[in-house]
Amino acid sequence: MDRALEAGRTPIVVGGTGLYLRAAVAELSLVKAPAESEESELWSPETRHPTTIFGLDMDRAQLYERIDARTEAIVAAGAVAEVRRADVLGPGRTARKALGFDELLAGDVELMKKRSRNYARRQLTWMRKIPNLHAIDRTGRSDAQVAAEIVAALGE
């Protein structure tokens, strides 16, 4: 991000975890993990550069339908075979924790969908804690409509 800004470009960060976002826009010490009661420290409004953060939300039922459809597409694209190959190679502890790994090994696509929906719900909860967040409801809206709203909010 710093190099992009120095070159006169506007960096855009899309997706990732809250920790990833915070590390991208602000100073973040990883010396020790914050205690549960200190977790809000992650969402400090202080950033290295002027930053605008947009958060996309949508009707929960539609979101869950999209998650279920995406999970089905992942399975149809051969994820089960890929996970089995990875399992034979002896994946590390972090890889074993990847969402869907154990579920696909067990042939439990419905559990993978459920865990994905739960993860999305937690992401939305975390997102709402971000100070000065510009929330955008994308329910029933195209990507182009959402992008136009973001551009308008940025005054560009």
Nearest 5°: CA angle at 97, between 100 and 56? 65
* Domain residue ranges in the chain: 2-59+129-154, 61-119
pLDDT digits (tens, 9 = 90+) for 88-140: 999 988 888 899 999 999 999 999 999 999 999 998 988 888 888 899 999 99
Q: Residue 67 pLDDT more than 90?
A: yes
CA angle 22, 93, 41 (to 5 degrees): 20
Helices (H), the chain: 2-6, 18-25, 60-76, 79-88, 93-96, 101-105, 109-127, 143-154
Q: Note the pLDDT of residue 13.
A: 83
How far apart (Å, rounded) are the C-alpha atoms in residues 147 and 153? 10
Look up the pTM and report it. 0.78
Q: pLDDT per residue over 20-54, tens digit each? A: 888 888 877 666 665 655 575 566 778 888 888 89
Over range 57-66, report the average pLDDT: 96
Which amino acid, one-letter code, is at 13? Answer: V
